[in-house]
C-alpha cells in the first residue's frame, strides 16, 4: 500500500489542492522518502476556513444538542480504537517515534482522550440556572466559541490534535487542523474515521502545511480561536497576532522541567521512572524532565545510577519493539541536539555518557546517543534551554529549599517530579514548584485533570472540564423574577 496522497480533506471531501507543491515525508531512520502529499497553500486554507465558517454559521453541528454530538463522537471513538495500531505505525514511519512508545502513547493516549472527554461532556454544565444577586434568576450557558484553528506539532501529532479536536467538536465548534509537514500521514487516517463516524461536511478540515501558511491560518478573519502546541518562540508570535485581533487563544508550549531526587528516594525506582519521564519519545517531549536535581550528599550515587539506567537503553530502528531511543525527527533536529552537547562541554559540564558522535552500528538515520552531563550549573544553556533530545543534566543542590529554588529558576513551568520515600514531603515539594503538572514518584497525564504550564510554558489548559471549557463562550441570560 502506497503512503502517497494527492488530495486534502476540505468540506467533507477529498479535494484537489490549489497548487502542485508537495511535502516529502522522509523516514528519520532510513533517510528515504516514504510518502508525498500535497502541501497546503493559502488558497487551501481559505477554502478550509470557508467550509468551517459555513458549517458553523449555517450547518447542523453547532445546533445539535450536546447529547447528539456525544453520540457521533462515541461512534468515532469505536472506529479509532479499531485502528490504533495503524495510527501508531504511521507516526513511527513519519517521525521516528519508537514503536514501543507509539503503541503505548502515540495512538492509545488519543483514544483515551476521546473517552475521557466523552465522560466529561456527559456531566458538563452546558446550561444552568442560578439565583441572581438582584432577586431574579440568571441562566448561564456555555456556547461554542466558533471556528477553531488547531495547530499541532510533529512530536506527538495525534495526541496534540485530539486535545483540541474532541473538546472543540463536543462544544459545537467547527475546526481547521493544520498538521506539521513532518507528520501529515496520520491526519489522513483521522479524516477517514471522522467521515465514517458521520461528522457533517465542513465541521473538520485537515490541511498539512508549513509555517507561513500556518500564520495565514492564525490571522484569518474567519477563525475565532487558535489552539497551538509547539515552541515558545512560535507561541509568542501566535499570541501577539491573536492579541491584535482579540482572538481567543490557548498555547501549550515548551518546558525545561526538573526531577528532584531526595536523599530518601528508592534510586532503582527513581531511575526506572526517569528513563521514561526524561527520555520519552527519544527526548522529544515538552514534559521531558531533563534537569535531574540531586543533593550534594547523594550526588555521585545519583549520577552513577542514572548513567547505568540510561546507558542500558537500546538505540536503533524505531520499528524494532526493543528500541527505546529512536532517531531525531529530522537532520536539523539531530544537528540542534549535537550542537547543544558541544555547548555543554564548552560551558564546563562533565560529559559522563554519550556525546555528539553517531551511535555505534547506525551508519544512517538521524540518531543521537543518550547523553548525561554532570557538574551542571543551572545557569548553563544546557540547563535553561529546551534541547528536545536525549540530553540530561544532573544539577546539585544543598537542601530541599535549594532544590525548589533551582527547579523554579527557569523561564518554563510545565512539569516536574519529586522522588522520595516520604509522600507528605513529596507533596510539600509539589506545592512549592511552579509548574502546571507535577508527579510524586511518578509522572503521567490524567485526562480528567487540566494540563498546561506556568510562565513561558503556555496559556490556558487542556484536558478535564477546564479543557472543554476552553472551546466555549459564556452567556448570561437574565430572566424575569417570578412571583412567589
294 near 400, Cβ under 8 Å?
Answer: no
Percent of the chain whose pLDDT exceeds 70:
99
How far apart are alpha carbons 170 and 472 in whole angstroms?
A: 10
- Nine cell digits for residue 387: 534541547
Residue 312: pLDDT over 90: yes
Would you state the pLDDT for residue 484?
Answer: 60
Domains 8-253+457-477 and 258-446 share a fold: no
- Nine cell digits for residue 234: 512560535
Q: Considering the domain delimited by 8-253+457-477, tell me its CATH architecture.
A: 3-Layer(aba) Sandwich (3.40)
CA 258 to mean position of chain CA atoms:
18
**β-strand pairing of 174-177 with 204-206:** parallel
- Nine cell digits for residue 107: 495512538
The residue-averaged pLDDT of 419-443 equals 98
How far apart are alpha carbons 163 and 284 in whole angstroms?
A: 18
pLDDT-derived band at 415, boundaries 50, 70, 90? very high
Candidates 3.40.309.10, 3.40.1280.10, 3.30.70.1710, 1.10.3860.10; CATH matching 258-446? 3.40.309.10
The residue-averaged pLDDT of 215-240 equals 98
Residue 121: pLDDT over 70: yes
End-to-end, the C-alpha distance of the chain in Å comes to: 71
CB burial of residue 346 (10 Å; 0-12, 13-18, 19+): exposed
Q: Which residue has the higher pLDDT, 53 or 360?
A: 53
Q: How many CA atoms lie within 13 A of 186 on its CB side?
A: 36
Q: How does the average pLDDT of the chain come out, rounded? A: 97
CA Rg, the chain, in Å?
Answer: 23
pLDDT-derived band at 482, boundaries 50, 70, 90? confident
- The single residue of 182, 286, 386, 462 carrying the catalytic annotation is 286
CB burial of residue 310 (10 Å; 0-12, 13-18, 19+): buried
Domain boundaries, the chain: 8-253+457-477, 258-446
Burial 439-452 (b: 16+ CB within 10 A, else e): bbbebebebeebbb
Residue 79: pLDDT over 80: yes
How far apart are alpha carbons 221 and 247 in whole angstroms?
A: 9
How far apart are alpha carbons 429 and 419 in whole angstroms?
A: 10
Would you state the pLDDT for residue 2?
Answer: 65
Q: Give φ, ψ of 369 to 5 degrees.
A: -70, 140
Residue 143: pLDDT over 90: yes
Catalytic-residue membership of 252? yes
Would you state the pLDDT for residue 1?
Answer: 46
Closest C-alpha to 289, from 302, 301, 276, 299:
276
Q: Give φ, ψ of 281 to 5 degrees.
A: 55, 35
Q: How many CA atoms lie within 13 A of 413 on its CB side?
A: 19
How far apart are alpha carbons 85 and 102 in whole angstroms?
A: 9
Q: How many CB atoms lie within 10 A of CB 379?
A: 9
The residue-averaged pLDDT of 422-429 equals 98
The residue-averaged pLDDT of 89-118 equals 98
- The single residue of 39, 252, 324, 462 carrying the catalytic annotation is 252
3 state SS for the chain: CCCCCCCEEECCEEECCCCCCEEEEECCCCCCEEEEEECCCHHHHHHHHHHHHHHHHHCCHHHCCHHHHHHHHHHHHHHHHHCHHHHHHHHHHHHCCCHHHHHHHHCHHHHHHHHHHHHHHHHCCCEEEEECCCCCEEEEEEEECCEEEEECCCCCHHHHHHHHHHHHHHHCCEEEECCCCCCCHHHHHHHHHHHHHCCCCCCEEECCCCHHHHHHHHHCCCCCEEEEECCHHHHHHHHHHHHHHCCEEEEECCCCCEEEECCCCCHHHHHHHHHHHHHHHHHCCCCCCCEEEEECCCHHHHHHHHHHHHHCCCECCCCCCCCCECCCCCHHHHHHHHHHHHHHHHHCCEEEECCCCCCCCCCCCCCCCCEEEECCCCCCHHHHCCCCCCEEEEEEECCHHHHHHHHHCCCEECCEEEECCCHHHHHHHHHHCCCCCCEECCCCCCCCCCECCEECCEECCECHHHHHHCCEEEEEEECCCCCC
The residue-averaged pLDDT of 388-414 equals 98
The residue-averaged pLDDT of 209-237 equals 97
How far apart are alpha carbons 361 and 116 in whole angstroms?
A: 43
Closest C-alpha to 230, from 238, 242, 220, 222:
238
pLDDT digits (tens, 9 = 90+) for 372-397: 999 999 999 999 999 999 999 999 99
How far apart are alpha carbons 153 and 151 in whole angstroms?
A: 7
Residue 104: pLDDT over 70: yes
Amino acid at each position: 500500500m502506497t503512503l502517497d496522497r494527492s488530495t486534502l480533506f476540505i468540506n467533507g471531501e477529498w479535494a484537489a489542492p490549489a497548487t502542485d507543491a508537495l511535502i516529502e515525508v522522509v523516514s528519520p531512520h532510513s533517510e528515504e522518502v516514504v510518502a508525498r502529499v500535497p502541501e497546503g497553500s493559502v488558497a487551501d486554507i481559505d477554502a478550509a476556513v470557508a467550509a468551517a465558517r459555513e458549517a458553523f454559521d449555517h450547518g447542523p453541528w453547532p445546533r445539535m444538542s450536546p447529547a447528539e454530538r456525544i453520540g457521533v463522537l462515541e461512534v468515532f471513538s469505536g472506529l479509532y480504537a479499531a485502528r490504533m495500531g495503524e495510527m501508531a505505525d504511521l507516526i513511527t514511519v513519519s517521525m521516528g517515534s519508537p514503536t514501543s512508545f507509539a503503541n503505548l502513547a502515540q495512538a492509545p493516549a488519543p483514544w483515551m482522550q476521546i473517552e475521557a472527554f466523552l465522560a466529561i461532556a456527559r456531566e458538563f454544565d452546558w446550561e444552568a440556572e442560578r439565583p441572581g444577586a438582584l432577586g431574579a434568576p440568571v441562566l448561564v450557558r456555555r456556547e461554542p466559541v466558533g471556528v477553531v484553528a488547531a495547530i499541532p506539532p510533529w512530536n506527538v501529532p495525534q495526541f496534540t490534535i485530539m486535545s483540541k479536536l474532541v473538546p472543540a467538536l463536543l462544544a459545537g465548534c467547527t475546526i481547521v487542523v493544520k498538521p506539521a509537514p513532518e507528520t501529515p500521514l496520520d491526519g489522513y487516517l483521522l479524516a477517514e474515521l471522522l467521515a465514517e463516524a458521520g461528522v457533517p461536511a465542513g465541521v473538520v478540515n485537515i490541511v498539512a502545511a508549513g509555517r507561513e501558511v500556518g500564520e495565514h491560518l492564525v490571522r484569518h478573519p474567519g477563525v475565532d480561536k487558535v489552539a497551538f502546541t509547539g515552541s515558545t518562540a512560535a507561541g509568542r508570535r501566535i499570541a501577539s497576532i491573536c492579541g491584535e485581533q482579540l482572538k481567543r487563544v490557548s498555547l501549550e508550549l515548551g518546558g525545561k522541567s526538573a526531577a528532584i531526587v531526595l536523599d530518601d528516594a528508592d534510586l532503582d525506582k527513581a531511575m526506572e521512572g526517569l528513563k521514561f519521564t526524561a527520555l520519552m519519545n527519544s527526548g522529544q517531549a515538552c514534559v521531558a524532565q531533563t534537569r535531574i536535581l540531586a543533593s550534594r550528599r547523594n550526588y555521585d550515587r545519583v549520577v552513577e545510577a542514572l548513567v547505568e539506567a540510561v546507558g542500558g537503553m537500546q538505540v536503533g530502528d524505531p520499528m524494532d519493539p526493543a528500541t527505546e531511543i529512536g532517531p531525531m525527527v529530522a537532520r536539523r533536529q539531530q544537528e540542534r541536539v549535537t550542537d547543544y552537547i558541544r555547548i555543554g562541554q564548552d560551558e564546563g559540564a562533565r560529559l559522563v555518557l554519550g556525546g555528539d558522535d553517531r551511535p555505534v552500528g547506525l551508519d544512517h538515520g538521524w540518531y543521537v546517543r543518550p547523553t548525561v552531563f554532570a557538574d551542571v550549573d543551572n545557569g548553563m544553556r544546557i540547563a535553561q534551554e529546551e534541547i528536545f533530545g536525549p540530553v540530561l543534566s544532573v544539577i546539585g543542590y544543598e537542601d530541599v529549599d535549594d532544590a525548589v529554588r533551582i527547579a523554579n529558576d527557569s523561564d518554563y513551568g510545565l512539569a516536574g517530579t519529586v522522588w522520595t520515600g516520604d509522600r507528605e514531603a513529596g507533596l510539600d515539594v509539589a506545592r512549592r514548584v511552579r509548574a502546571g503538572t507535577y508527579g510524586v514518584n511518578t509522572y503521567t497525564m490524567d485526562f480528567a485533570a487540566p494540563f498546561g504550564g506556568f510562565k513561558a510554558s503556555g496559556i490556558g489548559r487542556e484536558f478535564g472540564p477546564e479543557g472543554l471549557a476552553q472551546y466555549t463562550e459564556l452567556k448570561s441570560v437574565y430572566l424575569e423574577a417570578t412571583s412567589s
